[in-house]
Structure 1
Amino acid sequence: MSRTSTSTKALARSYRAERTLTFVLGLLGLLAGVAALVVSLGWLGGFRAQRPILDPIAVDWLGTRPVLAKTVAIVVGVLLLVFGLWWFVRSLRPEGRPDIELDRSVGSELTVTSGAIASAVQADAESVQGVHRARVRAVGDPADPALRISIWLREGSDLRAVWEELDTTVLTRARESLGIEALPTAVRLELDAAERRRVR
């Protein structure tokens, strides 16, 4: 897997398949609409423009073979139903939370859960000066884990100093602890609102 595709996991859950299907269906609908418009305007001949949408020859042919027509309609309907249910379940599938195996030796297996990874990185991030609170989520799969970090800064925090400490301390420590060279990370920074003071 390329570094670019791996890094996108840290930004947000991938909806590439959903977008591809939507694009293909939209493209097919657009082509069908253009074809109907071309025919109805008579660009392919006046005779074709005056004919009904359902070709009488095709309707007569299907009328003489009702069993075949019904069988094909039922099979297509069942396939579309199965595909729709599969797509529905796939879209609602929860995002992967990787558990990383640090040692696979028999009798001394060591696995770090995604919750432990997130808690450790969150504790490190909240210890950075200027950080009010943090929320960390480990995403992806065990082979290509990634982090999604949300940081809330205190008012007056030095953004550059916070960013440098996150990069050189928190994320470096996470990579070294997990024994991996690359840990794609998306960091979202927010500034806490100042406390409101009542004017007397």
Structure 2
Amino acid sequence: MRSVLGVVNRVLLGVVGLVLLALGGSVLAIGLGAPAPSWWLHDGRHDVLLDQAERTRWRSEGWWWPVVIAVLAVLVLLALWWLVAALRRRRPAEVFLDTGDGEGAMVRGRALEDALVEEAGLLEGVQKARARLTGRRDAPAARVRLLLEPDVDPGTALDALTAGALTHARESAGVAALPSEVRLRAVKHGAERVS
């Protein structure tokens, strides 16, 4: 789902950017003396964006300014929401550990990731391991990728990872569950020439 949102975000940013670039470039070109196209809203470089009649046309209507302000406020709120969503961290910087004494402690998310990678990398048949924490600091989740040797059974490697590294990470974090997404891939060796 996040990849779809990422694609939609990029497409939407691209479309908005192209529209703003086209409009801004057109205004700049006309302002510098280029002839205005027939579809252009104004007559030339000395024409104002809103003349006196356009600015005062709806002044006597009681609904006009509240509607304009409401639409602009909604646009600003949507832009702020979009900015916050784009800047939000996708991984927790810290994970809350329940120490059992009612106090709790915080551990860096990277430290838990590194421990998970180190233990998963020691499993038999695992050539390389990568891990990333997601979720919230009080309810972490894990994404693990394992690069397996060609002769390793994926089911066995998954069982070993679940019983070992993932269980230890869940117990260390003191959480009831550590939802995990595990991706397994086998090493592909190139063909060798035999003489």
TM norm. shorter chain > 0.5: yes
Describe the superposition over 1:138-168 as per-residue Cα deviations: whole angstroms up to 9, x where unpaired.
1111221111111111111122221111111
Distance 1:164 1:109 in 2: 30
* Aligned partners of 2:141 and 2:178 also within 8 Å: yes
How far apart, in 1, do the equivalents of 2:77 and 2:163 lie? 47
- Distance in 1, matches of 2:130 and 2:124, equals 16
Query: Using the alignment, how far apart are the partners of 2:183 and 2:2 within structure 1?
Result: 12
- Counterpart AA for 1:75: I
Question: RMSD between aligned alpha carbons?
Answer: 3.4
3-state secondary structure, aligned to 2:127: strand
* SS in structure 1 at match of 2:62: helix
Q: Which residue matches 2:161?
A: 166
How many angstroms does 1:80 deviate by? 2.7
Which residue does 1:188 correspond to in 2? 183
Q: Spell out the pairing of 1:30-179 with structure 2 (5 A cutoff).
A: 66-92=60-86, 93-97=88-92, 98-103=94-99, 110-179=105-174
Q: Which residue of 1 aligns with 2:35?
A: none
Shift in alpha-carbon separation, 1:85–1:114, aligned structure 2, 3 A: same
Shift of 1:187: 0.6
Q: Tell me, in whole angstroms, the C-alpha distance in 2 between the residues paired with 1:112 and 1:156.
A: 37
Task: Find the residue that maps to 1:134 and give its secondary structure.
Answer: strand
Number of paired residues? 146
| Residues 117 and 14 of structure 1: CA distance in aligned 2, closer, same or farther (over 3 Å) | farther
Q: Percent identity?
A: 25
Q: What is the distance in 2 between the residues matched to 1:161 and 1:134?
A: 15
Specify the code of the residue in structure 1 equivalent to 2:157. V
Unmatched runs of 5 consecutive residues or more in structure 1:
1-10, 19-62
Q: Aligned to 1:99, what secondary structure does the other structure show?
A: strand
- Hey, what's the Cα distance between the residues in 2 that align with 1:12 and 1:149? 17
- Is the contact made by 1:100 and 1:114 (CA closer than 8 Å) also made in structure 2? no
Q: Any stretches of 5+ residues in structure 2 without a counterpart? A: 9-56
Change (3 A) 1:187 1:99: same
For residues 189 and 64 of structure 1, the distance between their equivalents in structure 2, rounded to whole angstroms, comes to: 64
Relative to structure 1, the CA distance from residue 160 to residue 103 in structure 2 (aligned partners, 3 Å threshold; closer, same or farther) is: closer
Equivalent position amino acid for 1:83 in 2: L
> Any idea what the Cα deviations from partners look like across 1:16-65, whole Å, max 9, x if unmatched?
xx9xxxxxxxxxxxxxxxxxxxxxxxxxxxxxxxxxxxxxxxxxxxx776
TM-score (norm 2): 0.61
Tell me, what secondary structure is at the counterpart of 2:192? coil
Query: Structure 1 CA distance, aligned partners of 2:184 and 2:153?
Result: 12
